[in-house]
Amino acid sequence: MKITLIILLTLLTALMAPPAFASNRVLSLDGDGDYVEIVPNENLNAINSQATIEAWIKAEALLNGRMLIIYKGDEEKPDFSNRSYDLALLPSGCILLASAPSGEKNVWIESSSNLIKLNRWYHIAGVIDAKKNVIRMFINGVEAASREFGDSIHVSALSLRIGWTYEDDSRYSSFAGQIDEVRIWRIARSQEEIQATMHATLSGKEPGLVGYWRFDDAGKIATDSSKNH
């Protein structure tokens, strides 16, 4: 099936929303193959040792496949060594974070099942720290999972995708719901740092921030509000 790019920006009127962003627009996806593709740039492509991936999400359905929230990686490989980072919502209602140490198979962690309820906002953060050999996940600022990782992060030159993957497989689905405040960092943020800014609008000049999408544009535009290019 051909995947098309459709960005629907909807006002959060009479909807539950992250407190700091209650009057903003969001990215709304219907789970039918729509997604946002971010043009590659050297800052996103250069992440190889530390990364933090953040987003607010509100799922409106749990589909049969793994629903991609954020994906940076290559097309599917038999040994699953293709991901720089991948945040996804599983049919069981748990969040999955995956990344491949360079030249090795993907390492992944999952939150507990039934954690994510429909039509509620959650802040999701994945931290990959190859310098300290650990991968961690935080949901609403609380650590949900962690494990040992590796000494580097797989580097992919392909575009970052929000809401979809490059892997054409029945195991995957595009996201069904709303996504906001997507942030990509080239540093491993601490739990305290994540908690301090998860409800705040960033200036875009924060050290280590290399991608920041607020989805407040009109029409089919997703502006990167980070200034650290």
Query: What does each of the 229 residues of the chain score in pLDDT, given as a tens digit?
Result: 323 333 333 323 223 455 566 457 899 998 888 889 998 889 999 999 999 999 999 999 998 888 999 999 887 665 566 789 999 999 999 999 999 998 788 899 999 989 999 999 999 999 999 999 999 999 999 999 999 999 999 998 889 999 988 766 667 788 999 999 999 999 999 999 999 999 999 999 999 999 999 998 866 678 899 987 5
Q: Where are the alpha helices (DSSP H) in the chain?
A: 42-45, 191-197
pLDDT for the residue numbered 4: 31
**Domain of 76, in residue numbers:** 8-213
Looking at the domain assignment, is residue 141 inside a domain? Answer: yes
Q: Indicate the number of domains in the chain.
A: 1
User: Could you tell me the CATH number of the domain that includes residue 183?
Assistant: 2.60.120.200
Q: Are 211 and 182 in contact (CB under 8 A)?
A: yes
Residues with Cβ within 8 Å of 42's Cβ and at least 6 positions away in sequence, in order, are: none
Looking at the domain assignment, is residue 75 inside a domain? Answer: yes
**Alpha-carbon gap, residue 92 to 138, rounded angstroms:** 18
Instruction: Give the pTM.
Output: 0.88
Nearest to 35 by CA among 157, 172, 139, 137: 172
Looking at the domain assignment, is residue 226 inside a domain? Answer: no
Nearest to 116 by CA among 138, 97, 135, 92: 92
Quick one: which H or E segment has residue 88?
strand 83-89
pLDDT for the residue numbered 25: 87
pLDDT for the residue numbered 73: 85
Looking at the domain assignment, is residue 168 inside a domain? Answer: yes
Looking at the domain assignment, is residue 1 inside a domain? Answer: no
pLDDT for the residue numbered 79: 57
Map residue 197 onto helix, strand or coil.
helix
Nearest to 122 by CA among 93, 145, 99, 161: 93
Looking at the domain assignment, is residue 82 inside a domain? Answer: yes
Nearest to 211 by CA among 9, 7, 72: 72
pLDDT for the residue numbered 9: 34
**Alpha-carbon gap, residue 124 to 54, rounded angstroms:** 6
Looking at the domain assignment, is residue 3 inside a domain? Answer: no
Looking at the domain assignment, is residue 2 inside a domain? Answer: no
